[in-house]
């Protein structure tokens, strides 16, 4: 896996790479159904009307993707922008303003403000973490996005 320490990394620019990156972090041992926790032989849906990365659970038959249960779920903002915003917010010791995010990521100020707000909240102890309450944390080098788990 590529290190998450440079804004040039593909997963900060390409949404397919962003999804693969997130899948690798969240599912190190293969996809897990968020509905029934099955780790069975889920298959990827490939229809033209299907969003990339959507799988169908081999047990409960419900569709899911890696963003279910995370702050990225149902967002219209591209996943690569989310990851880049989280990276910038985490890697800047002094913090970064929505205006800086807006200029660096090339998103609207409104989107930048939303990203900063949601990511900052997700990084607090009560925010549930970027990965949802059951999803653990995204570890990016020494930076944790989300909540540190006690023993795991």
Residues engaged in binding Zn ion (CB under 5 A) = 33, 35-36, 38, 57, 59-60
Whole-number minimum distance, CB 43 to Zn ion, in Å? 12
Which two tokens mark 129?
């973490």
**Smaller CB distance to Zn ion: residue 33 or 86?**
33
**Smaller CB distance to Zn ion: residue 20 or 35?**
35
CB 148 within 8 A of CB 95: no
Whole-number minimum distance, CB 56 to Zn ion, in Å? 9
**Smaller CB distance to Zn ion: residue 31 or 136?**
31
Q: For every residue of 99-136, which 3-state class applies, written as one string?
A: HHHHHHHCCCHHHHHHHHHHHHHHHCCCCCCCCCCCCC
Give the distance from CA 11 to its chain's centroid: 10
Whole-number minimum distance, CB 61 to Zn ion, in Å? 7
């Amino acid at each position: 896996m590529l290190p998450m320490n440079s804004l040039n990394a593909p997963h900060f620019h390409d949404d397919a790479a962003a999804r693969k990156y997130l899948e690798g972090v969240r599912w190190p041992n293969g996809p897990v159904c968020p509905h029934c926790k099955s780790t069975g032989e889920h298959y990827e849906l490939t229809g033209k009307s299907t969003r990339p990365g959507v799988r169908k659970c081999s047990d409960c038959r419900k569709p899911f993707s890696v963003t279910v249960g995370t702050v990225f779920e149902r967002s219209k903002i591209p996943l690569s922008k989310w990851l880049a915003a989280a990276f910038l917010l985490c890697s800047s010791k002094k913090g970064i303003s929505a205006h800086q995010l807006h200029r660096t990521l090339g998103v609207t100020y409104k989107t930048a403000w939303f990203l900063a707000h949601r990511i900052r909240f997700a990084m607090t102890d009560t925010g549930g973490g970027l990965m949802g309450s059951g999803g653990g944390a995204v570890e990016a080098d020494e930076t944790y996005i989300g909540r540190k788990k006690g023993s795991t």
